[in-house]
Structure 1
Amino acid sequence: MEKLKPVSRNMLSRWSTSEDSLVRVFRNSSWLFSAKGVGAILSIFYLAILTRTLGVAGFGEFMVIVGAVQVLTAILKLQTWQAVVQFGVPYLLAGQHREFRKLSAQNFWIELLGGLAACGALWLMLPYGASQFGWSIPIVQAIMGYGVIVFLSVRSTPIGILRAQDRFGGNAFGDAIIPIVRFAGALILFLTTPSMTGFLIVWGLSEFVSFVVMWLMVWLRDETDHPLRNAAALAVVPPSRKEFLAFLLFTNLAYLISVVRERLVVVIVGFFVGPAAAGLFRLADQLANSLNRLSEVFARPLFAELSRLFAIGQSRELRALFWRSLRASAISGAVLFIGLLLLGKYIIALISGPEYLAAFPLLLLLGAATIISLAGLGLEPLLQAAGRARNALVARLVGLVALGLLMAAFLPSFGTIGAAWVMLISAILTTIMLFVSSRSAIRQPQHPVPNSRKP
């Protein structure tokens, strides 16, 4: 036993200090996984409270509201974290702290202005939604309040700052706040008087608290030195406006497409099939997307690491990291689907009750779609880090067009099961296109960041 202790300490030391690319990705993923692990456990409890207190139709209605707000967020409130990482990491590696702060401030205002536009759009759209679902004035007011908080909470920029500085621990803490607040609020409502208005207030409060915590993590520890800073690095020329806007546009369109696939389908099912069908579909989608959260845990640090390798021109290490990560994600995806097949029914019954068991076939199809995306999770981060965000966007766009066309054909005839099959077909098509596009980026890596010059 005494011999094992030094070995264990030695392994932990290697884990915490190793600069192997895949180890760095897993180390940063472990921070995010701790937050997502907390979120996954707590979300089971607040999802059970939601489904059991609101009922199938009420839960579906609630998820239509949340989904519509998230789609508006994706359309109008730009996600800036990838731009901060892509163009900020070279600044930090070169020690250009002032330029990094300027880039961060620019992205803050971009995100905030988009949030203001989303507030205006929600105000214009609410009357139509109220007439469609028969919402009362208190519910309409709660929806507007929830939307304003989500839209004006500038969270993407501080996320980018923390990730660019390799501070995934702070990022994880800010992410973990959301499920903690939702769980606490849902539990209080369950013990008192649960209502849709109350749940909307809790969901909005969770976004606001996370927003405050994220910025506190940025301001309380303004770590301007990147841990891998190269003292002899060349000064970085700022990206041109065209280059910056193009990257922001392509990454946000790709993000919009993923949100549309995840959220807008639920809204469409709710409007055209009914709230009860939307409730079953969303429950299955929520459980399937717990797997997607695992993919995000790995993909976000992977993007940051790929950006670093492109910035310093490590082509061989870049290719090795990509293929190693692809193998790891494919194996984990297969294991997850087997678990879903064996335990899916029991999970649904345990969380939401037997009246939701009709969601099991939907869970298998949506879970398969998510796992296919999980198997290729390194594809899109590679294209974005390589400065080929346009290729990722084209693949996502083709998948979205296929989704829309097939939805129009399948939904009227087959209902929710048809919508689930459409999600699976779209995921397969998108992943194939991403893989084909990534091959050229691997074979001919290009420097994605602005050219450097001697200071």
Structure 2
Amino acid sequence: MSRKLFTKWAHSEDSLVRVFRNSSWLFSAKGVGAVLSIFYLAILTRTLGVAGFGEFMVIVGAVQVLAAILKLQTWQAVVQFGVPYLLAGQNQAFRKLSAQNFWIELIGGLVACGALWLMLPYGASQFGWSDSIKTAILGYGAIVFLSVRSTPIGILRAQDRFGGNAFGDAIVPIVRFVGAFALFLTTASMTGFLIIWGLSEFISFLVMWLMVWRRHETDHPLRDASASAANPPSRREFVAFLLFTNLAYLVNVIRERLVVVIVGLVVGPAAAGLFRLADQLANSLNRLADVFARPLFAELSRLFAIGQSRKLRALFWRSLRVSAISGGVLFIGLLLLGKNIITLISGPEYLAAFPILLLLGAATIISLSGLGLEPLLQAAGRARNALVARVSGLVALGFLMLIFLPKFGTIGAAWVMLISAILTTGMLFFSSRAAITQPKQRPSKSG
């Protein structure tokens, strides 16, 4: 009986089953990452202290914000425009699209390297970084910027090869855990941790491309012999999609990373350390959401490409119910176990992060409840609507931060994150109504 169930699970073409099946690959990687991140987070917080941990996260956050601004994420464009090519067996067109996105990502990374080199002296004067830390920051930044990881992620997802994607993702926490443990046994320092964090990005970059080169597009499992030839997107359509998806991604990174940098500048490194610890624990829920959202986007893109409007609407509402129920369960667990988790990982000196954790966890779970909204808008070619919602939430966040942060400190920043999440999710749901009831097909060109 169990074997029949497994066979049915492995070969089912039901859309939600396909999403869960692909999610299971990513969840295996994220599960490994979640377990290992607990250990290396414990090493980080206990060896660097509250202020040192805060300073380390300010550095990592600043590099990641710079990467989000200048180094374009291309995986969604590869999936959005590559899936129709693969369904139609147009492998040469898919290779050309992949190469185009590779160069877009790499050129953005080179620009980001130059920007970091120009901005580092100012940051060093503000935070008092030593020459060794500045060198480590430059090395870490260069690896993050020049590791072209988004394009191979898109290739693997477009080809429905989430197993290879999961393996590449799992490398990052594995290297960080091994490296952090080695530093713990020898001499832990901020410079050493930056070197390990950069090494994890570089090895993951190599593994991702190895996964891509293992198999050609001719083996693509979703190839449909009845599919008509796909027309290439116009330059305007491609650029607009890339722009809007990256601006939406930038908004998310600013929410997750820049706020920590601002807290560090306004309140101090110790406050930034408490805020980032709570944010990191809350983001573990967000990583679980991401596990489901990425295969959901790929499946929605496939359904749009083949014009399955009824299946698309059914998948959307089913996924929304699953994410809402999951969010409620996760928040109850956070409420009951949050203090114990903080004490176990980082020690009692970090318990002041618990109220912050509850607020940031609530913000994350509200976003989780609307998990399918943004993938639906992006797959429907309405990335502009998703961007408007994200930018509106970010504007509200910035305005309220000016009021709440100086007066209430880190708890004020956490309340602002919650209010912004409520506003953003509400706008995404409102914007999704048209896409749910009247899916807009990807425009095609004649001739």
Question: So what's the TM-score if we normalise by structure 1?
Answer: 0.97
Aligned to 2:352: 358
Q: Deviations over 1:244-285 (max 9, x none)?
A: 000000000000000000100000001111000000000000
Corresponding residue to 1:415 among 409, 412, 422: 409
The residue that corresponds to 1:4 in the other structure is none
Equivalent position of 2:337 in the other structure: 343
* C-alpha deviation, 1:104, in angstroms: 0.1
Instruction: Please give the per-residue CA displacement for 1:157-208, whole angstroms capped at 9, x wherever unaligned.
Output: 0000000000000000000000000000000000000000000000000000
Q: Are residues 1:41 and 2:32 paired?
A: no
TM-fit CA distance, 1:449: 5.4
Q: 2:276 aligns with which of 272, 278, 282?
A: 282
Distance in 1 separating the partners of 2:323 and 2:360: 18
Give the Å deviation of 1:225. Answer: 3.7
Give matches, 1:362-381, under 5 Å: 362-381=356-375
- Measure how far apart 1:224 and its partner are: 3.2
1:102 maps to which of 92, 96, 102: 96
In structure 2, the partner of 1:323 is 317
Question: Could you tell me which residue of structure 2 aligns to residue 124 of structure 1?
Answer: 118
> What is the CA–CA distance in structure 1 between the aligned matches of 2:299 and 2:221, rounded to whole Å?
13
Does residue 64 of structure 2 align to residue 70 of structure 1? yes
- For residues 342 and 436 of structure 1, the distance between their equivalents in structure 2, rounded to whole angstroms, comes to 33
What does 1:77-96 align with in structure 2 at a 5 Å threshold?
77-96=71-90
**C-alpha distance in structure 2 between counterparts of 1:185 and 1:266, whole Å:** 24
Query: Partner of 2:217: helix, strand, or coil?
Result: coil
2:161 is the counterpart of 1:167: yes
Deviation at 1:223? 3.5
1:265 aligned onto 2:259: yes
Residues of 2 paired with 1:152 and 1:138: CA distance? 21
Structure 2 distance, partners of 1:238, 1:354, is 57
Distance in 1, matches of 2:238 and 2:378, equals 13
Correspondences of 1:190-339 after superposition (within 5 Å) = 190-339=184-333
Gaps of 5+ in 2: none
SS of aligned partner of 2:263: helix
In structure 1, distance between residues paired with 2:216 and 2:122: 45
Q: Is the 8 A contact 2:41 2:345 kept in 1?
A: yes
Q: How many Å separate the matches in 2 of 1:314 and 1:198?
A: 51
- Provide the rounded CA distance (Å) in 2 between the counterparts of 1:375 and 1:240: 34
Question: Do the aligned partners of 1:126 and 1:140 also contact (CA within 8 Å) in 2?
Answer: yes
Conserved in 1, the CA contact under 8 Å of 2:91 and 2:217?
Answer: no
1:287-329 alpha-carbon deviations (Å, 9 max, x no partner): 0000000000000000000000000000000000000000000
Assess if the C-alpha contact under 8 Å between 1:234 and 1:452 holds in 2: no
Q: Classify the secondary structure of the residue corresponding to 2:52.
A: helix
Q: Secondary structure at the match of 2:337?
A: helix
Quote the sequence identity (%): 85
Q: What is residue 2 of structure 2 aligned with on the other side?
A: 8
Aligned to 2:181: 187
Amino acid paired to 1:293: R
Distance in structure 2 (CA, Å) of the matches to 1:399 and 1:253: 13
For structure 1, list consecutive stretches of 5 or more residues without a partner in the other structure: 1-6
The residue type equivalent to 1:385 in the other structure is A
Structure 2 CA distance for aligned equivalents of residues 236 and 21 of structure 1: 22
Structure 2 Cα separation of the partners of residues 337 and 251 of structure 1: 29
Change in CA separation of 1:361 and 1:452 when aligned onto 2, cut-off 3 Å: farther
Cα shift at 1:333: 0.1
The TM-score normalised by the length of structure 2 is 0.99
8 Å Cα contact 1:61-1:279 kept in structure 2 = yes
1:452 Cα offset (Å): 7.2
What is the SS of the residue equivalent to 1:235? Answer: coil
Amino acid at match of 2:157: R
Instruction: Tell me, in whole angstroms, the C-alpha distance in 2 between the residues paired with 1:432 and 1:266.
Output: 25
Matched, 1:153 2:147: yes
Q: Distance in 2 between matches of 1:98 and 1:361?
A: 54
Partner of 1:3: none
Determine if contact 2:342/2:351 at 8 Å carries over to the other structure: yes
- Give, in whole Å, the separation in 1 of the partners of 2:321 and 2:212: 34
Aligned residue for 2:409, secondary structure, equals: helix
Whether the aligned pair in 1 keeps the contact of 2:160 and 2:222 (CA below 8 Å) is no
Q: Which residue of 2 aligns with 1:432?
A: 426
CA distance in 1, matches of 2:402, 2:14: 47
